[in-house]
Structure 1
Amino acid sequence: MFRQKFLRSLLTFLCAVSLPVTTAWAAGSVQVSVDKLNVRSGPSLQDSIITTLPVKTVLPVLSTKNDWIQVKLPNGQSGWVANYLVTQEQTPASVAQIESTTDKLNVRSGPGQTYSVIQTIDPGTRYSIVQKNGDWIQIQLSGQTKGWVASWLVKEINSGGQTSTKPSPESPPAANTGTTPPAKPGAVQGASLTLEFAPYVYATPDASTPAIGQLHAGESITVLTQQNGWIQFPYDGVNAWISTDENSLPTLPNTGTGSGTGAGNTSVTTPPVTQPTSPAKQTVRVNTDGLNLRSQANTTSAIQGTLAIGSTLTVLEKQGEWYRVQAPDGKTGWVAGWLVTVSQPTAPTPSGPYVTIINPDTNVRSGPGTEHEVISHVQTGEKYAIINKAGDWFQVTLSNGSTGYIAGWLVSASGAPAVIKSNELVGKVIVVDAGHGGNDNGATGASFSTLEKTVNLQVALLLRNKLEAAGATVIMTRPDDRKLTLQQRVDVAVTNRADIFVSIHHNTHPNTATNGSIVFFYNQGNSSKLASLVQNELVKATSYKDLQSRFGDYFVLRENPVTAILAEIGFLSNYNEEIRVRSEKQQDLAAEGLYKGILQYFSSQNTQGS
């Protein structure tokens, strides 16, 4: 029955996309619908690629031939693009001017928040549109001066005097909200397909790789392409895949749920049990000016107000990547989690023995074993009093007064013997170095102004928890937001006679299309081996692009006598990757990859020693 329904849906889609293009491309402009669009020297796939263009680039049309469009490139040359990878823009005459919707709007030298401010403009004055690039509009200022403004902070005025205002650049809501997500940045506006089952989502069309999420029956997706039983669609800022086989089973990443072996763990289909709000109040800090406060946890709901950068909001609840918050004026609503920085409250520490949760969504079961029902989920950093121990399981008191069992190898125990499944890290001294800090922010995200120092520390703290739970002694160069010199960081490793030194960073590049993970080493031997193992596990856990481990001439590596690596998790200059590195789940997956690489390193050292 499912097969018939799905094939009917798929047939409808294929018929829609296979119809010949009969609409003529009027002289005007087209906008690039995919990232890294190939521009060719002629109107066919056999012609050579002369350049690539980022998503949302607007190009003037010169001519057309069959399914190809000749366009004028930003450098003045011409080239050919496939018409099914671009969308037709309104002619310049129909949208000719913009007007600022905020006082002192920054006009920048380029299309992004990292470019310098060349002047400010105010409401009441209209400026002609020169061109568009993604969410940015180039306008004509006085004389020959041109500059770029954020499209979500202006209104566009067409020749008929009508205006339109673009919402702030929020990414679409996370999956599993039960709503149909709007098209994501960079998505091709293709056919819509309504799902009749609940498929798992993969980073690549391969069910043997870790699943990165799950969709609901009844949810609609925008189809980008389909091949060999797989459909590609935009998901959480990246292009992901689902299988057309409803019986395809996922290989889930080890995020700390269930048992060590995974046997009998059905937590992926068990809905999380809502926990009572903890007395400790969590807060978030607004990272962008004019942040939308919405009525529901998605980008299509009504805007109830805007919030200034730097505002501190009290968290009332969380749904996916969204937070329901209370503003200083008492108003409540939902804000996008990738546009705020979360401040974790300091929970009260139990007076007796207790466990600290080291992975998000850790299962709490009704009895001491994976065969028992999952009754709740608990989160990273939470502490629960131990009231009993049964084998490798701790019985704990939950925040609502009930009790449950947590696998001992998934928590850090205080005041009670730790449960350790392997001995590779027992007795090892590991220095975890969160790069930058204090008034040294490191890199700044190009799209959401993410501070590198913040995400460095978030991943470092998650890694510390995992290493300590495995028996290692972990020393942080900075456990909070403080600045250290490079020499001080090295001194921590030397003074404590560390076995290894792991420095955590996030990258940036002038080319915003650049993305992926790199683990650097300076010395051949143990350092290069550690880097290679960590690189492999990091990309396996996160599905980030593998840019390979490589030599790096960095002070904390070069001047360090300890086996040392420096991990660049992802690129803050890349739109999709900045969204991902801000995600709590992705941060935990990064920490898990680092942890597994370190574990492999010490396991191999023990094997050599024996």
Structure 2
Amino acid sequence: MSLLTIACAVSLPLTTAWAAGSVQVSVDKLNVRSGPSLQDTIITTLPMKTALPVVATKNDWIQVKLPDGKTGWVANWLVTAQQTAAPAPQIESTTDGLNVRSGPGQTYAVVQTINPGTRYPIVQKNGQWIQIQLSGQTKGWVASWLVKETTSGGQANPAAPPPTPTTPPVTQADGGTPAKPGAVQGASLTLEFAPYVYATPDASTPAIGQLHAGENVTVIKQQNGWIQFQYDGVNAWFSTDEGSMPSLPTTGAGEAADTSGTPAQPPVVTPGPTGQPSAAKQTARVNTDGLNLRSGANTSSGILGTLAIGTTLTIMEKQGEWYRVQAPDGKTGWVAGWLVTVSQPTYPTPSGPYVTIINPDTNIRSGPGTEHDVISLAQTGEKFAITNKAGDWFQVTLGNGTSGYIAGWLVSASGTPAVIRSNELAGKVIVVDAGHGGNDNGATGLSFSTLEKTVNLQVALLLRNKLEAAGAKVIMTRPDDRKLTLQQRVDVAIVNKADIFVSVHHNTHPNTATNGSIVFYYNQGNSSKLASLVQNELVKATNYKDLQSRFGDYFVLRENPVTSILAEIGFLSNYNEEVRVRSEKQQDLAAEGLYKGIIQFFSSQNTQGS
């Protein structure tokens, strides 16, 4: 596909936004630039969770005030808005006798049980598990799908007051947790952990930065488990309490601690939502030589070893953009998700009628209705045998042999009629074309060597699932990694008398700063209307830059008598966009945007027809 010539967007006037709140950094080592573009000089980098006051905005960039008082520009898609300091979050159990465990998983020991009506402060989160503060200094982990989150604005919880940090002893308390430093005024400390930095000694306020293990700090003051020190020219604080710093789960009761200084890892299984080992094993392929295998899910954690390019790893857990993996030699650790290619999980197909999950974190409930408790969460691609149907709800068999109910309009059904809550797509024939394939890789990402053919297919398969669940008959030009000619792709639409043809692609450009989504059409009328609607929904769902739907002279559009569009989701030549299009969540959002645009198109056609 020929390269596109993209006109530079007209710059918008600078909007002053003093006192417009603050933003918090959502990635590690965020680049701060001298101006609002990727061409401007990098003046510093900031760690994750750094809170920054907003000065002004321009297009997709935000000017912020740095901890040293200077200003710089950050990309708005790499920070999150914080208008005011959020109230301290708490949880409350939604079921009697909820187990609180020593680690984030059902394989860990139960330390106590809690009941509804009592709130507990949140310490940290790990996947679908939440660590909470119990009475005294005791902490434990609960399943997020069995609790509800609240804020501290309600009645105080006498059983679990917010912990008052105390200075731990200098000696190491156990084999799994490094000892925290003792401190006196004027003392120089070498950190053995990575605490967050706060403007005041209060962990409920936004962090302004993060220190790393091995850094030296000079103590100004110490009070109630907090240490004051100089941070970028201002007085700041960090806590010596374990709950105030990122950490891996502690070992369960009765387990031997890992005396190497790295917290012991859970058993080598991928826990499914019900606590049973999942039948699907995901793998990852290393994309760069000498990839660091780390002890934790961040770049400040210790390096356990390095991995050669091409190494296949078994994925055990995901945390943000990091994966805990097992290497071929049995060693486990964490790798950066943007430096590996993750395979799509494959799940066994049950005999008889079954449903396929089409959205991540789909609720499985104890009964056929939203008023029933959520007993588990299912992930995209999982398949469950259908045992019964109650209204619009399917009763299914879970991996541990128990049963639950799934909303029929949220799944794709096989062997039984689908549940359709909207008639826009009922009976529509839609051809979904994943661009390139086989020995035709399409574009290749400049930063992580992402193959366009791979991400095209991943988004196309997610789109297929959503369309089928809404009642459409979906035909894939390629359901796997194979090569087709352009004419063969068009022929699929002609032979099957398709209502619409949707081709999924990812873009490239000589200017690496170019980013955003474009949906192309060749013919005016239905094709241009479909492109416009899909463009709007795509950028709304993904938050990619809107480069507008436009005319495109491409074979699969020009030679196609069917209403046709070609969607360029994002640019593999742009560093930040390549990171995003590789993300499973972002791929699902792209598929959701395409799906909603198609729904709107057919809805408008029905309105005209009536």
| TM-score bracket, shorter-length normalisation | 0.5 to 0.7
CA distance in 1, matches of 2:393, 2:59: 36
Is the 8 Å Cα contact of residues 292 and 305 (structure 1) preserved in structure 2?
yes
Partner of 1:467, secondary structure, is helix
- Tell me the residue number matched to 2:356: 356
Is the 8 Å Cα contact of residues 33 and 55 (structure 1) preserved in structure 2?
no
Query: Once the two structures are superposed, what CA deviation does each residue of 1:18-51 show, in whole Å capped at 9, x if it has no partner?
Result: xxxxxxxxxxxxxx9545826xxxxxxxxxxxxx
Query: Once the two structures are superposed, what CA deviation does each residue of 1:144-197 show, in whole Å capped at 9, x if it has no partner?
Result: xxxxxxxxxxxxxxxxxxxxxxxxxxxxxxxxxxxxxx626xx9x88699xxxx
1:54 aligns with 2:39: yes
- Tell me the residue number matched to 2:303: 303
Residue pairs, 1:187-586, within 5 angstroms: 224=64, 238-244=78-84, 246=86, 273=273, 275-586=275-586
CA distance in 2, matches of 1:559, 1:375: 51
Partner of 2:333, secondary structure, is strand
Letter in 2 for 1:465: N
CA distance in 1, matches of 2:373, 2:64: 39
CA distance in 2, matches of 1:536, 1:389: 36
Is the 8 Å Cα contact of residues 34 and 55 (structure 1) preserved in structure 2?
no
Partner of 1:304, secondary structure, is strand
Q: CA deviation at 1:346?
A: 2.9
Q: After TM superposition, what 4+ stretches of structure 1 lie above 6 angstroms from structure 2? A: 232-237, 266-269
Letter in 2 for 1:240: T
Letter in 2 for 1:432: V
Query: Once the two structures are superposed, what CA deviation does each residue of 1:227-275 show, in whole Å capped at 9, x if it has no partner?
Result: xxxxx997997233223164899xxxxxxxxxxxxxxxx9798599564
Q: CA deviation at 1:54?
A: 2.1
CA distance in 2, matches of 1:599, 1:285: 36
Is the 8 Å Cα contact of residues 64 and 74 (structure 2) preserved in structure 1?
yes
Is the 8 Å Cα contact of residues 190 and 224 (structure 1) preserved in structure 2?
no
Q: CA deviation at 1:325?
A: 1.4
Query: Once the two structures are superposed, what CA deviation does each residue of 1:313-343 show, in whole Å capped at 9, x if it has no partner?
Result: 1122223332221111221111122222222
- Judged with a 3 Å threshold, the aligned counterparts in structure 2 of structure 1 residues 547 and 328 are, in CA distance, closer, same or farther, namely same
CA distance in 2, matches of 1:309, 1:461: 27
Is the 8 Å Cα contact of residues 452 and 506 (structure 1) preserved in structure 2?
yes
Q: CA deviation at 1:418?
A: 1.0
Residue of 7, 28, 37 corresponding to 2:35: 37
Q: Using the aligned pairs only, state the percent identity.
A: 76
Letter in 1 for 2:64: L
- Judged with a 3 Å threshold, the aligned counterparts in structure 2 of structure 1 residues 236 and 362 are, in CA distance, closer, same or farther, namely farther
Q: CA deviation at 1:529?
A: 0.2
Residue of 19, 44, 47 corresponding to 1:183: 47
CA distance in 2, matches of 1:204, 1:389: 50
Partner of 1:367, secondary structure, is coil
Letter in 1 for 2:428: K
Q: CA deviation at 1:405?
A: 1.4
Is the 8 Å Cα contact of residues 234 and 240 (structure 1) preserved in structure 2?
no
Partner of 1:553, secondary structure, is coil
Q: CA deviation at 1:506?
A: 0.7
CA distance in 2, matches of 1:518, 1:319: 31
Q: CA deviation at 1:577?
A: 1.1
Partner of 2:449, secondary structure, is coil
- Judged with a 3 Å threshold, the aligned counterparts in structure 2 of structure 1 residues 56 and 302 are, in CA distance, closer, same or farther, namely farther
Partner of 1:37, secondary structure, is coil
CA distance in 1, matches of 2:484, 2:33: 39
- Tell me the residue number matched to 2:245: none
- Tell me the residue number matched to 2:117: none
CA distance in 2, matches of 1:397, 1:327: 33
- State TM-score, norm by structure 1: 0.60
Is the 8 Å Cα contact of residues 393 and 407 (structure 1) preserved in structure 2?
yes
Is the 8 Å Cα contact of residues 145 and 375 (structure 2) preserved in structure 1?
no
CA distance in 1, matches of 2:73, 2:360: 26
Q: CA deviation at 1:562?
A: 0.7
Is the 8 Å Cα contact of residues 183 and 234 (structure 1) preserved in structure 2?
no
- Judged with a 3 Å threshold, the aligned counterparts in structure 2 of structure 1 residues 408 and 280 are, in CA distance, closer, same or farther, namely same
Letter in 2 for 1:325: V
Structure 1: gaps of 5 or more residues: 1-9, 15-31, 39-51, 58-85, 88-133, 135-181, 194-202, 206-221, 227-231, 250-265
- Tell me the residue number matched to 1:213: none
CA distance in 2, matches of 1:244, 1:601: 40
Partner of 2:445, secondary structure, is coil
CA distance in 1, matches of 2:482, 2:146: 38
CA distance in 2, matches of 1:312, 1:438: 21
Residue pairs, 1:84-99, within 5 angstroms: 86-87=43-44
Is the 8 Å Cα contact of residues 409 and 419 (structure 2) preserved in structure 1?
yes
CA distance in 2, matches of 1:36, 1:241: 21
Letter in 2 for 1:318: K
CA distance in 1, matches of 2:598, 2:498: 13
Letter in 1 for 2:333: G
Is the 8 Å Cα contact of residues 346 and 381 (structure 2) preserved in structure 1?
no
Partner of 2:608, secondary structure, is helix
CA distance in 2, matches of 1:329, 1:369: 47
Q: CA deviation at 1:478?
A: 0.7
CA distance in 2, matches of 1:594, 1:527: 14
CA distance in 1, matches of 2:375, 2:546: 38
Is the 8 Å Cα contact of residues 355 and 383 (structure 2) preserved in structure 1?
yes
